[in-house]
């Protein structure tokens, strides 16, 4: 599988490149906006790792140009911690996921594999697991074709877990993904419990074939 890294920090590129090559990926790189844009417009990649701040432009501009050209490139945004608005905008204009710097390479690999797996289904961006169908563009969830009404945070939580079925998710990772990077300023994460409790109840009432299981002292897992 072929990966493109669009990033202006050479040390980061080398670290990611060496790691992914050990995992048997083919890796290309671009250190500037212009070179990155040329590559994504002219070649196909299984996943693009896209930094937001680049010499000559931004990663968001690259996403906009892809949208204009009608091209689809599975994309994982690599962003500095705190750039919440940029990350949200990136998702809205075509990125599949984001990962805040600094990050663990194992987490990067897991996110990439999830994106590649989803986009390997003929471009279908729906998420289907058991009898649940989640449609990101419409922010809609169906259980056996019947719409499940969720509030914004319940939907975001379910979306996050649907991307990572059967994976143990730590509370802090879930909080940062759904509530933003500044969540570390909160005194506690008890609000996650109440949101998940309500989501579990709604899933059960609709006879969903999934559940969100608590792992004491660590986090949660979609099972």
Confirm or reject CATH 3.40.50.2300 for domain 2-119, answering yes or no: yes
> Residue 195: CB partners within 8 Å, gap ≥ 6?
153, 154, 157
Nearest partner of 35 among 60, 4, 64, 11, judged by Cα: 4
Which sign, positive or negative, has the C-alpha torsion 67, 68, 73, 77? negative
Of 102, 132, 99, 101, the C-alpha closest to 114 is 99
Res 181 pLDDT > 60 = no
**DSSP 3-state of 167:** coil
**Could you tell me where in the chain the CATH 1.10.10.10 domains are found?**
127-222
Vertex 155: Cα angle to 150 and 160 (nearest 5): 160
Average pLDDT over residues 84-103: 82
Confidence of residue 122 (pLDDT cuts 50, 70, 90): very low
CATH of 127-222 among 3.10.450.50, 1.10.150.170, 3.30.930.10, 1.10.10.10: 1.10.10.10
What's the rounded mean pLDDT across residues 182-209?
Answer: 83
Cα 186-85-218 angle, rounded to 5 deg: 40
pLDDT of residue 124: 52
**What pLDDT is attached to residue 58?**
92
Residues of the chain with CATH 3.40.50.2300: 2-119
Q: Residue 54: pLDDT above 50?
A: yes
């Amino acid at each position: 599988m072929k990966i493109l890294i669009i990033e202006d920090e050479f040390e980061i590129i080398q670290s990611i490149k060496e790691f992914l090559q050990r995992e048997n990926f083919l890796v290309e790189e671009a250190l500037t906006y212009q070179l990155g844009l040329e590559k994504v417009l002219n070649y196909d990649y299984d996943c693009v790792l896209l930094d937001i701040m680049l010499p000559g432009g931004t990663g968001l501009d690259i996403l906009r140009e892809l949208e204009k050209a009608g091209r689809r490139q599975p994309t994982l945004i690599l962003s500095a911690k705190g750039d919440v608005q940029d990350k949200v905008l990136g998702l809205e204009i075509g990125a599949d996921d984001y990962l805040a710097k600094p990050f663990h390479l194992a987490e990067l690999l897991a996110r990439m594999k999830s994106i590649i797996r989803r986009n390997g289904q003929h471009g279908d961006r729906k998420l289907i697991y058991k009898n649940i169908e989640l449609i990101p563009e419409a922010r809609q969830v169906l259980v056996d074709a019947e719409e499940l009404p969720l509030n914004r945070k319940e939907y975001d939580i379910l979306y996050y877990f649907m991307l990572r079925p059967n994976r143990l998710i730590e509370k802090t990772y879930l909080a940062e993904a759904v509530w933003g990077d500044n969540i570390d300023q909160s005194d506690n994460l008890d609000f996650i419990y109440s949101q998940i409790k309500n989501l579990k109840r709604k899933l059960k009432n609709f006879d969903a074939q999934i559940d969100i299981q608590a792992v004491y002292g660590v986090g949660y897992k979609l099972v």
